[in-house]
Structures are given as C-alpha cells and as structure tokens.
A and B are shown apart, each in its own frame.
Chain A
Amino acid sequence: AQSVSQHNHHVILSEAASLELGCNYSYGGTVNLFWYVQYPGQHLQLLLKYFSGDPLVKGIKGFEAEFIKSKFSFNLRKPSVQWSDTAEYFCAVNVGNTGTASKLTFGTGTRLQVTL
C-alpha cells in the first residue's frame, strides 16, 4: 500500500520568503501526485497535480512542485509567500488508471504560518 510522509509539521515564514515543503511517498509502482491546500475552516482545494510528462508542475497561486522519481519526492515550492498563503498543505498520492475509483492517501499535513 502507498504511504506519504511530510516532514515539516509547522513552518513559519515571513512574507516574501521562499517556501519549500517536503513530500515523500512510498510505493513501488506508478503514482499520481497531488498537493492540496486547506484554508482555516474550509475544504480541501487542489493546488496542483502530476500524472506524467514534465516533472515540474505549475499550479494555482504561484505554486509549483517537482517530481523526482529517484527520490520518491514531490516537493512544493513558492518563490515568495504571501500572508494569504497561511493554511494547511497536504501532499497526496493515488494509484490506478481512469475507470477505477482510486482513493487518495494523504500525508499528515504541513501548517504554514506567514507573518507580516
């Protein structure tokens, strides 16, 4: 079964600082990778996803992530964070192809706090 590790549990950054959140997964085969954001009191929103092709994926709100297959990693980055990026960030993985009800397996999340 697949699993996801997020090593940073709580990150505090000043506005305009650069962000990198780590995500590693464990699975022997092909995976699909996701980053979700959860603003306080809100539902999960998709930031970006990777299925195949260019390992550098760009998402919404200026976020990007790089899939490094040899390291089983999918780290999330943003060059300059804003106060409004304060939220919880979840890395997730699933396996399977179109036509299967594939579940998402989530990491434990990283709480990002951006200070002014």
Chain B
Amino acid sequence: EPEVTQTPSHQVTQMGQEVILRCVPISNHLYFYWYRQILGQKVEFLVSFYNNEISEKSEIFDDQFSVERPDGSNFTLKIRSTKLEDSAMYFCASSDTGVYGYTFGSGTRLTVV
C-alpha cells in the first residue's frame, strides 16, 4: 500500500533555529497538507497546498512557517525561527481527491529546547 514518508522521525533543535520537515507524498496525489499535534492535544490543521500554491492556512501558520514543493516529489514545511511552543508532532498528509481520501505520514516529532 502506498505510503507518505516523513523525515526525520525526530528532530531536536534550539530555540531560534530554522528547521525543515520533509515529506514525500503518494506519487499520484495532488493535494498536500500539514497538521500538528501538541502532546496530549488534538490534531490541528496548519496548511493545505494544491497546484503549487497554498489553498488554505490556519491562524497557527504565521509568517514563521512556509511550505514548498521544490522538486515535484518532496513537500516541505519550514519553520524559520523555532519557539518552544512549536514542539509538537508534525504530520504530513496527501490526497488524490482533496476531500475523500487522506493518507498520513508517520510524523516528525519536533522538540525545541
């Protein structure tokens, strides 16, 4: 069964540093998403991406965040200057229809110290 692959699985970074979280969506999917889950809390939507542009972003997704699909296969989330409160599990997801079928990656646990 096709998978969404995320790397790294765990990243520790110092406050103020830039991090890039990487995702390889399923190859024939066209819609891409980032979600995050702070420990013990619900999964929250960050951003959706389609046709090489952001479709929707949440209030969490401020100027410190950006997404990119640099080479047609990877989908990245960049946090420019990390804060302690950015510590969370970040999930990438992709979908072929944009509505009905989402496949989630295993997540990247980001720890900001």
A contact residues vs B (CB 8 Å cutoff): 32, 36, 42-46, 49, 51, 90, 92, 94, 96-109
Contacts and interface: CB of A to CB of B under 8 A. Distances in A.
Contact of B104 (A43, A107, A109): A43
Interface of B: 31-33, 35, 41-45, 48-50, 55-56, 58, 91, 95, 97-102, 104-107
28 contacts: A32-B100, A42-B106, A43-B104, A44-B104, A46-B101, A46-B102, A51-B100, A90-B42, A90-B43, A96-B98, A97-B99, A98-B97, A98-B98, A98-B99, A99-B97, A100-B55, A101-B31, A101-B32, A101-B50, A101-B55, A101-B56, A102-B99, A104-B33, A104-B35, A104-B45, A105-B45, A107-B42, A109-B43
A89 to B, nearest CB: 12
A92 B107 CA distance: 18
A96 B101 CA distance: 13
A105 B101 CA distance: 14
B105 A43 contact: yes
B48 A96 contact: no
A103 B43 contact: no
Contacts of B35: 104
A82 B113 CA distance: 39
Contacts of B56: 101, 103
Nearest to B9: A41
A80 B58 CA distance: 39
Given A98-B97, A98-B98, A103 B42 contact: no
B98 A43 contact: no
